[in-house]
Chain A
Amino acid sequence: MFAMTVRQRGRMEGQFELTPGMHAIVGSSGAGKTTLFRLIAGLEHHPSLKIRWNEQSIDRLLPHQRPVAYVPQRPSLVPHRTIEDQIRWIAQGSLPHWSHWIQWLNLEELLNRYPHQLSGGEQQRAALLRALVAKKPILLLDEALSQIDRPHRVSLYRKLQETLGEETLLLFSTHQWEEAEQFSEYVVFLQKGRIASSNNITQTVPVDSEMARMMGYVGSVPVPDGHLLIHSRTIVLGQSLGPSLHISGQGYQQPVSPTLSRYHFLSDDGRLLLEWIGNPSETTQFDDISIINPVLVPFSLPSTQGGG
């Protein structure tokens, strides 16, 4: 069990708890994801910081004493040592033990090269392996796979999910909600230094419009108790299917590519209510839309963002 509390006004405030497993830290750029990681890793500190891991307080330990391995966003390999040398140094010897990972990450050819001879994606893979061989129970990936193309990144997350031990905690940061959705159990949402929520991802409800936008909600509809959020993926064109919200108006589809279409939905009096990107469909014009699984929130989410 991992538990963290911090109260540094203007920088980082909040608390959260996580069980071992793979979880996401989500927030837009500048929200504080890196600061959070640095606090956990011990590179930054604040008197109010408290971190507990398995009944042990680790917030007063120096970085190298903590049960944490951290892979930062920027290139972090030692420039004047070969990949193999530095991974071996961190692993303290037994590299053959890791040959499976070396092969899987396609690093065999690159082992006796220097970091500057590797591409960005290769450097990130090497940095990831270097962190894995440190064998720490807590692994922090700070957008550490950003230069690896999406299909490879997806299979990498899957492999990490499969191979990480039961007592390991892996936190990865992302500003793409879909990645969090796909690979994490819990999400810690950061917004301007505030830890806004830590929920099981199936139950995450946005706390404000910024978070809602990040999660992919495209608009909201006022109801007596508040507002119902509309997500682009929960919109169904045409008549309703069972228990769902039904909105009348006029909608149009505009194909953008063979696999993507832009949709506009106007109210009966011509105001643009919703705009979203979605799967292509047969109907180019439609009268009503239905929303399945609308989420009730206290704030509204205006849909028009700078024109149609």
Chain B
Amino acid sequence: MRRLLGIWSGITLAVLFVPVVVLFLHAGSLEQTIRSTAGRNAIEVTLGSGIIALAVDLLFGIPLSWILARLVRPKWRRWWGTLLIIPLLMPPLVLGLVLAYVVGPASPIGSTISLANTFAGLVIAQIYESLPFFVLTAWGYLGAIPRSLEEDVWVLGKSPWQTFWFVTWPMARAGFAIAAAMAWARIVGAFGAPVVVAYHPSGLPVAIWIQLQEQGLPAALGLALWLIIVSLPLPVWLNWRFSHVRYDR
């Protein structure tokens, strides 16, 4: 039985990694892509907009996840959790359509200043695709920090502030780091919303799409490889660094 499970899992893993392997077999096209202006632009746009989107995610996501994990009464948590699932599970295309409506020329806001097909529009689309993800992930990790850990040092004379820095923050930091890792991957890989709201300037995902349609599959592989390079190292490293910490008692 165990052997059967092992073989089945091995097949699953192999299947999962097929795209990764195929991509790296085309590593040659990496250099080609960076030499083309279109390629360079796409990478710059993705990095630039991505960093801003991640910063906004942190700015709004950290306080919100903290409040949800620590200040909301347990009775209400279920409601909030369910509520946040909605934007999280909204199909990115639908998200893009709605955003395009709100910030585009058709809406009251957009008719004064339309953000459709602008850098700002791209950032907004990326934020919408990633923020619920950040909040839910961070909330999960923060919620797992036992409150008793703090009580146990309050009763030895440590103030809540001292306790926060010595006890709580190192654990919370791990949660925020992993949530940021997940959010980054979502931001950089965002396609459904950007393709509707901000076809230009094109980040890597949209650029891949355009290449695919204009020049066919092999040409798009170089950009795809760059997308992997831009999106994966940070999350992989953050996961490695922080996810082994467990606070089970």
A residues lining the B interface (CB < 8 Å): 41-43, 62-64, 66, 68-70, 72, 74-81, 86, 89-90, 130-131, 134, 136
Contact = CB atoms under 8 A, between A and B. Distances in A.
Interface stretch (B130-138, B165-173, B212-220): B165-173
> How many B residues touch the partner, as a band?
10 to 19
Contact of A64 (B158, B167, B170): B158
B247 A43 contact: no
Which of B157, B170, B249 is the most central at the interface, judged by chain A CB atoms within 10 Å of its CB?
B157
Contact of B166 (A42, A70, A81): A81
Interface in B150-165: 151-160
A200 B51 CA distance: 69
Interface string B199-243: 000000000000000000000000000000000000000000000
B245 interface: yes
Contacts of A62: 154
A76 B148 contact: yes
Contacts of B157: 64, 69, 90, 134, 136
Nearest to B174: A80
B155 A63 contact: yes
Contact of A89 (B154, B166, B171, B245): B166
Nearest to B156: A134
B89 interface: no
A235 to B, nearest CB: 44
A69 B155 contact: yes
Q: What is the predominant secondary structure among interface residues of chain B facing chain A?
A: helix
Given A90-B156, A131-B156, A63 B151 contact: yes
B166 A78 contact: yes
> Which 9 A-B pairs give the minimum distances between C-beta atoms?
A76-B152, A70-B155, A63-B154, A134-B156, A41-B155, A64-B154, A64-B159, A134-B157, A63-B155
B7 interface: no
A63 B163 CA distance: 12
Contacts of A75: 249
Given A64-B160, A89-B166, A78 B155 contact: no
B149 interface: yes
B91 to A, nearest CB: 39
Interface in B48-77: none
Interface of B: 148-149, 151-160, 166-167, 170-171, 245, 247, 249
Contacts of B156: 64, 69-70, 90, 130-131, 134, 136
Given A74-B148, A79-B149, A90 B155 contact: no
Nearest to B151: A43
A90 B158 contact: yes
Nearest to B245: A80
B245 A42 contact: no
Contacts of B159: 64
Nearest to B160: A64
18 contacts: A41-B155, A63-B154, A64-B155, A64-B159, A64-B160, A66-B155, A69-B155, A70-B156, A76-B149, A78-B149, A79-B249, A81-B166, A89-B158, A90-B156, A90-B158, A130-B156, A134-B156, A136-B156
A49 to B, nearest CB: 16
Contacts of B247: 79-80
Contacts of A130: 156
A78 B169 CA distance: 12
Contacts of B167: 78, 81
A41 B171 CA distance: 25
Given A64-B160, A80-B171, A81-B166, A74 B155 contact: no
Contacts of B245: 80
B249 A78 contact: no
B84 to A, nearest CB: 28
A43 B170 CA distance: 23
A101 B150 CA distance: 25
Contacts of B154: 42-43, 62-64
A63 B153 CA distance: 9
A97 to B, nearest CB: 16
A63 B155 CA distance: 5
A70 B152 CA distance: 8
A220 to B, nearest CB: 42
A65 to B, nearest CB: 8
A90 B162 CA distance: 10
Contacts of A134: 156-157
A68 B166 contact: no
Contacts of A79: 149, 247, 249
A18 B170 CA distance: 41
B211 to A, nearest CB: 46
Contacts of B151: 43, 63
B155 A42 contact: yes
A134 B155 CA distance: 9
